[in-house]
Chain A
Amino acid sequence: DAKTTQPPSMDCAEGRAANLPCNHSTISGNEYVYWYRQIHSQGPQYIIHGLKNNETNEMASLIITEDRKSSTLILPHATLRDTAVYYCIVRSFNDYKLSFGAGTTVTVRA
């Protein structure tokens, strides 16, 4: 029962911004949007999360639409090391596990 929809893959040019979309049209008021990534077969790595406000950290920015039904993860200057599978996950504040979908495979090209 996927709560999010992401494109299966996308390419990005090195040095350019990568904009990764995610649809979560059934999100409820107590659910956060989390983004993780998995480089090759390494453990998933936390990127950012948000509830309704846009968020920014040293890795990325998260833009959440006003109706909260979709969001975009922005990698401002993609590098080759950003090639990974990116997961958009909806999690309620009292559900402490994460449920991973298929994610978006992002390939950054030189």
Chain B
Amino acid sequence: EPEVTQTPSHQVTQMGQEVILRCVPISNHLYFYWYRQILGQKVEFLVSFYNNEISEKSEIFDDQFSVERPDGSNFTLKIRSTKLEDSAMYFCASKSGSDTGELFFGEGSRLTVL
């Protein structure tokens, strides 16, 4: 069964450092997403990406965050200068072009900012 893969599974970084989280979505999917989940809290939408541009973003997704799909397969989330409150699980998801198609989520990347 096709799956969304994410790397790294866990990253520890110092506050102020840049972090890049990587995702390989399902190959024929057209819509890509990043979500995050702070420990003990809800899964929160960050950003959606379609046709090589951001289609929607939440208030959380400020100027410190960026996404790109550099090579047609990887989908990355960059945090320019990490803060303590960026510590969370980050989930990548992808969806086919069907209106009712479900989102497939990866297993997540745990980011710990010290």
9 pairs, A vs B, C-beta closer than 8 Å:
A32-B100, A42-B108, A43-B91, A44-B93, A93-B100, A97-B33, A97-B56, A100-B35, A102-B42
Q: Does A54 contact B (CB under 8 A)?
A: no
* Majority secondary structure, A binding face: loop
Q: Which residues of A contact B (CB under 8 A)?
A: 32, 34, 38, 41-46, 49, 87, 93-94, 96-102
In the complex, the answer to whether B95 meets A45 with C-beta atoms within 8 Å is no
Q: Give the distance in Å from the alpha carbon of A98 to the alpha carbon of B100 in the complex.
A: 12
Q: Does B104 contact A (CB under 8 A)?
A: yes
Q: 8 Å CB contacts to A: which residues of B78-98? A: 89, 91, 93, 95
For residue A49, give the distance in angstroms from its CB to the closest CB of chain B.
7
From B11-19, B43-51, B64-72, the one touching the partner chain is: B43-51
For residue B93, give the distance in angstroms from its CB to the closest CB of chain A.
8
In the complex, the answer to whether A45 meets B105 with C-beta atoms within 8 Å is yes
Instruction: Give the residue name and chain of the A residue nearest to B3 (CB).
Output: A43
* Majority secondary structure, B binding face: strand
Q: Which residues of B contact A (CB under 8 A)?
A: 4, 31, 33, 35, 37, 42-45, 48, 50, 55-56, 89, 91, 93, 95, 99-100, 102-108, 110
Instruction: Give the residue name and chain of the A residue nearest to B57 (CB).
Output: A97
7 closest residue pairs by CB, A with B: A43-B105, A46-B102, A100-B43, A93-B99, A44-B105, A43-B91, A43-B107
Q: Give the distance in Å from the alpha carbon of A49 to the alpha carbon of B101 in the complex.
A: 10
In the complex, the answer to whether A42 meets B102 with C-beta atoms within 8 Å is no
Instruction: Give the residue name and chain of the B residue nearest to A30 (CB).
Output: B99
In the complex, the answer to whether A96 meets B31 with C-beta atoms within 8 Å is yes
For residue A61, give the distance in angstroms from its CB to the closest CB of chain B.
17
In the complex, the answer to whether A42 meets B95 with C-beta atoms within 8 Å is no
